[in-house]
Amino acid sequence: MKKILFTAGFMILSMLSDAQDFTFGKPTAQQFELKRYDKDTSAAAVVLKEYGKAYISNNDLAVVFEYHVRIKIFNSKGYNSGNVEIPLRKSDANTFEKVRDIKGITFFVDENNLIRNTELEAKQIFKESKAGKYHDLVKFAMPNVKDGSIIEYSYVIESPYRFNFRTWEFQSDIPKAYSEFCAVIPGVYNYNVSIRGPLRLTRDEAVLEKECFSPGGGWKADCSKLTYIMENVPAFVEEDYMTAASNFKSAMYFELSDYSDYRGAKHKVTKEWKDVDRELKTDESFGLQLKRKDFFKDRLEPVVAGKTSDIDKAKAIYTFIKSQYKWNHVYGCYAEEGIKKSFEKRSGNVGDINLALVAAMNSAEIKAEPIILSTRSNGTVNTLFPVLSDFNYVICRVTIDETSYMLDATDPLLPFGLLPIRCMNDKGRLVSLDKPSSWIDLSASQKEHQTVTMKLSMDNAGKIKGTMDILSSGYEAYNKRVAIKKFNSVDEYVEDLDERLPKVKFIKSQIFNLDTLESGLRESFEIEITNTEKDQFYLNPFFMDRNSSNPFKLAERTYPVDLGSPSESRMVVQMTFPDNFDVTNKPKSAALALPNNGGKFISDTKIEGNTLMLNSIVQLSRPIYTSEEYHYLKALFTQVSQVKNTNITFKKKI
Amino acid sequence: MKIWLLISVLASLGLPALAQKNYDVSLIPKTLLARAGAVIRNDETTIEVKGLDEVYYRKKHAITILNESALDEASLVIGYDKTTSIRSVSGRIFDESGNPIFKISEKNMQDRSAVSDVSLFDDDRVKFFSPAKLSYPFTIEYEYEIRTRQSLFFPSWIPMRTTGVAVESSVLNFVCPESFILRFKELNFKGKADESLSEGIKTYRWQLNNVNAIRDEPFSPHYEDYLPTVKLAPEKFAYKNLKGSFSNWEEFGRWMSDNLLKGRDELSEPTKAHILGLVKNISDPKEKAKKIYSYMQSKTRYISVQIGIGGYQPYPALDVDRLGYGDCKGLVNYMQALLKVAGIESYYTIVQSGSFKKDIMPDFTSLQGDHIILCLPFKNDTTWLECTSKDAPFGFLGDFTDDRYVIACTPQGGKVMRTPRLSATDNKQIRTANFKIADNGSLSGKMTTLFSGAQYDNHHTLLNEAYTEQKKKLPKLYTLPNLEIEFLEFTQHKDASPETREIITLNSSNYCNINEGRLSIKMNGLNQMRPLKEIRNRVNPVKVPRGFYDEDTITYLLPEGYKIGLPPKSTIIENAFGKYSANVTINGKTITYKRTMLLNEGYYTAEQYDSLVTFFQEISDADNLIAILNKI
């Protein structure tokens, strides 16, 4: 998905061309007449032309980003392109991005069929401070956006954040006919440049600009002017079951690797993992936190008292840390408050909590190391060179008797060794205090697993009585526990089940291991199902499934299907019925397998005398399926859905 | 989305300050624990009017959180904006025995914008706090004071506002000078206000003690129909520097008209000339209005912009004309201005929007509603316009604002009016389909569906999509297995009783189940009733807010080589809730399935809910009808 284009430095000098911005407010006659976008006739709007340029200011070393776009609107679904939001990063009162020189114009055809234009008015531009914890928003609506309008706007952002220079997204929710980005980078700055997504650049070039960088004091440098052009960029359309859009969207990313200051001294920013390792180890919010082992010494004594094996100690410490902190729902691989302070406040971000877990484990002499990772919604990380800003999460890995367990203490319902699904995103980096860091596969250690067992018997009146046992483990048990905890009590949870299924009465119920997280969750019910009709009765054993339709509805799939974890669900039903009844309809038998051992579906319903036996297994052995495998997956679920939607019909013999 | 009131800032208020209470959890009356994840120990709100532009809200709120299900109730969120400032805020957390363990001050609180994503601009902000990790149960107590520079709007007192939360004590005090006239309305409140007067200061006090937690019950009416509520309104008021008074809807309408609308209907000369040109050859005023409406629809788009006088005042017509956008207020005001040019009278009308009908209270005048529509009072032909939609038919409100009391604001004063009703039999979905079953169990054929009344917009989300997107999204609406759309077409007939026609040619492989020489065909794969949730010991009355009528006639052409066994049985169910019928007729190689379903609008007692559940369940069972064919 990701490849390094090159390190932006001085190495490339190609032909001198002069890419530049297009003239503001001068759409061509052709653009006015455009009725649809031929490359994608379903497009409600298209970016006709888009130009961006980023450079480092000679005044204050800010990254200056000039943006200019011209968009054709075809119909009302495209009006959203006329509602513009510019997010501005903000760290504190002194460090923030600002936007200036916002300019906009709309060309439209008026009621008399004349082309007219309206400019964006300054008083119609609004600023929303602190729209998020770390950003403000500037918003405006382009005037007179109608079918056939052309809107055009431009602005300049000044940013003190040089580290990522400026990310350029070639792809957005509408197609683009032409997108060009120009990065002017002084030779004293070295950026790693990468392109993401499946699309190819139409053109790219690099030219040298002599002494373009002169921040004063006689300090001068040449710049490389890098131009990236993509034409006919298709719209980016999200699909269900996919991870972060940024993993798949075509875009240019920059990462500062080193720079030289005015005295010529070189500063490495990121270069190699060994540099990153060293930085992390000495970072006040990371490595130094891990050294606060002593902080936990006394506090852990009562926790591990009486525990003899390391595994028991580790489990006790994990439970202790989970009970001490409330996660404030802020991500991050660094501690925001620090282990001590957050412990006292009993609240912290991911970094505070999981680094505390590592420190606590180490303090009990259990080998523990942090793994930094990027959550599913944050995108995958660059594995070619270290890009620390790709990471937004940290977990703890403990190793006991050569077995490793990955732990996250932000969620009290996670059992020892189970990571939340949000962490299931390809690879993480294990940061060891005494060894070089290394890549670790994060793939789920446990799957989503459920077995439903029913033993039922039906009487002459169609009343079905018996037991239903549901055993859930892995992610399924976690999900169930989360659902049950939303209720005021277990009784209310069962009452809700009972009320949702008016035909099924839950006569007795017992839930085992609700708080014993490391064991599977077992729900044991005594049930009674009523049939209202005479002489013909029905049973659908899958009545607990909320949605039994095929989750895969698209004819074609562009991106991989990412389910997060493997899964397996079994159903075993044994049911007796009166001798004077026949089974006239039942789910068909099926046995299907996905290619490459991807999974299977087996369903079998047998009648022996007056006993019906149904067995079904749906097994998906991998978390991710490629878009080529999609058809098999869809076909498998067509069968699953058909079986689940078939009522077993019992009919009185005549 | 189309909100015109911005005073949501205050709507979250509900409480004030007494002597220190003992928050020991064991002191909670046992009867209050049923179904409660939290118990409000003490909630006291004091609203003090010092001057018309100087109003204080003092609130004290103490709540015991018994378990995780109610943890969200421990958070404090205080809204503020340009007219409202937070003067002080503090709090404490107590353990199970009532010992204080943590102090909260303003510096523990976070601040953020409260602007919704859909809004281009408004100035709502909130301060919020949520506690750290605590073991259950614990009690959290907040105390704060807000000052606001307006007395136009007072939040209602709704002591029981959340499911799963019991109330030990809740109090509202309203304190004002003797000269200040408070109007109030008590709903579902058994007691009465305590009124007292001392040294020129009047005090009103409402109190509610020991009420059990409420449940979320489907088909409940609006909370104002069953929960204790006190609504408050001033007679004389100020909104910053703007002063006014009203005590009935007539005065309210005049005040709106004179202060917030007057002079905002100016238009440029070219626009006026264009409108006159548009209608110059039309004599019928309604036809004129129709022409102008479609002009307005093509010229503007809806954007939420909440500025000026708490978000009550529309953008001037001149601005909407120039910019081509506005919110509901701006667009209605603009449309009104355009009509005025053509000499057509219309009323700027306040409504509470949403498919769940809610009246503006005819007998209590205060700021109500959340949306604006336009009323055209043609003689014996009152016509209503929704102005925020680019494709709404002229004169059709749909289910968003139908059948409810509204307030029309005119220079002659406000008028209570009622929007037209869509009856159950107006809200139709009529489908005919001709399908062929192949011997491999697949189904293919064509179906045509007509949607009207409140169902006119059922598939609205698809209408403006590109054809390829429509084809992609349709399988989410019809869950036939492996649905493939070969052809799809929507046409709309737009008048005051509009209709949407959907024609689909489709193919569904695996539609039938084939097993051991038997082929079973689901008779109803397109429109199945979902069962309704039961509620043990239901408390709330039952309201079916809107009726509808569905009719499906589906013909299946059977494959060769099979013969049908016994015909599937017919069902007829009829009672106060509605009427259902399903029957199958066999004619040679074809089976015709006809299903009709009428759900009546209605109001029933809590006890009747069980019968409604049975009604839904019987329909849902009957919708599972299958026809079984045997291999010859």
CATH of the domain at A308: 3.10.620.30
Question: Which residues from chain A sit within 8 angstroms of residue B391, using beta carbons?
Answer: 76
Do both A505 and A382 map to the same domain? no
pLDDT digits (tens, 9 = 90+) for A65-77: 999 999 999 999 9
Quote the domain boundaries for residue A597: 448-652
**Which one of A441, A470, A501 terminates a domain?**
A441
Are A536 and A636 in a shared domain?
yes
What is the structure's pLDDT at A196?
A: 87
Domain ranges of chain B: 8-243, 249-418, 428-631
Note the maximum CA span of chain A.
105
- Provide the number of structural domains found in chain A: 3
- Name which of B32, B69, B509 to mutate to probe chain A: the one with the most chain A Cβ atoms within 10 A of its Cβ: B69
Mean pLDDT of chain B: 90
Better-scored residue on pLDDT, B141 or B112: B141
Query: Which member of A112, A144, A585 has the closest CB to residue B626?
Result: A585
Q: Note the Cα B611 to chain centre separation in Å.
A: 26
pLDDT tens for each residue of B253-298: 999 999 999 999 999 999 999 999 999 999 999 999 999 999 999 9
Q: Average of pLDDT values for B512-534? A: 90
pLDDT at A198: 86
CA distance A286 to A291: 9
Q: Quick one: pLDDT at residue B116?
A: 56
Interchain pair B325, A145: CB under 8 A: yes
Enter the CATH code of domain B428-631.
Answer: 2.60.120.1130
* Architecture of domain B8-243 in this structure: Sandwich (2.60)
Q: Which runs of E-coded beta strand occur in A234-264? A: 251-260
- If asked whether residues A106 and A83 sit together in one domain, one would say yes
pTM for the model: 0.87
Please check whether residues A255 and A336 belong to one and the same domain. Answer: no
Q: What one-character-per-residue DSSP string does B396-435 give?
A: --GGGT-SSEEEEEETTEEEEEEPPP--TTTSEEEEEEEE
Alpha-carbon distance A226 to A10, whole Å? 11
Determine the pLDDT at residue B3.
39
Domain range B249-418, CATH class? alpha beta
**Alpha-carbon span B404 to B359, nearest angstrom:** 5
Give the residue-averaged pLDDT of A218-247: 89
For chains A and B, CB pairs below 8 A equal 166
Mean pLDDT over A580-599 rounds to 92
pLDDT tier for residue A129 given thresholds of 50, 70 and 90: confident
Average per-residue pLDDT in chain A?
Answer: 90
Among A268, A289, A320, residue at a domain's last position? A268
Domain boundary among A420, A441, A462: A441
Q: Is the pLDDT of residue B57 over 60?
A: yes
What is the DSSP pairing of strand B301-302 with strand B325-326?
A: parallel
Range name among A72-76, A354-358, B495-499 with the lowest pLDDT average: B495-499
Mean pLDDT of B618-631: 91
**Residues A374, A243 within the same domain:** no
Q: Which of A121, A239, A488, A582 to mutate to test the interface with B (most CBs of B within 10 A)?
A: A488
Helix, strand or coil, per DSSP, at residue B620: helix
**Tokens 């909590």 label which residue?**
A353
Identify whether residues A477 and A370 lie together within a single domain: no
Closest-CA distance of chain B to residue A234, Å: 15
Residue type, A407: L
User: Residue A459 has which token pair?
Assistant: 């009487």
Between chains, do B133 and A323 touch, taking CB under 8 Å as contact? yes
> For residue A2, which amino acid is it?
K
Q: Can you give the pLDDT at residue A399?
A: 95
Q: Is the pLDDT assigned to residue A10 strictly greater than 50?
A: no
Residue B21: per-residue pLDDT:
77
State the CB neighbour count (10 A cutoff) for residue B530: 9
- Cβ <8 Å between A485 and B69: yes
pLDDT digits (tens, 9 = 90+) for B412-461: 999 999 999 999 999 999 999 999 999 999 999 999 999 999 999 888 88
Same domain? A465 vs A495: yes
Partners of B138 in the β-ladder: B65
Tell me: do A196 and A295 sit in the same domain. Answer: no
Question: Which one of B164, B322, B535 has the shortest CB-CB distance to A143?
Answer: B322
Question: What is the average pLDDT across A450-459?
Answer: 96
Find which of A365-369, B108-112, B515-519 is predicted with most confidence, using mean pLDDT.
Answer: A365-369
Contacts of B301 in chain A (CB under 8 A): 76, 79, 82, 145-146
- For the cut 50, the answer to whether the pLDDT of residue A2 exceeds it is no
Residue among A395, A544, A396 at smallest CA distance from A483: A544
Question: Does the structure's ipTM exceed the value 0.90?
Answer: no
Nearest to A647 among B164, B464, B624 (CB): B624
Please give the pLDDT value at position B17.
Answer: 40
pLDDT grade for A156, boundaries at 50, 70 and 90: very high
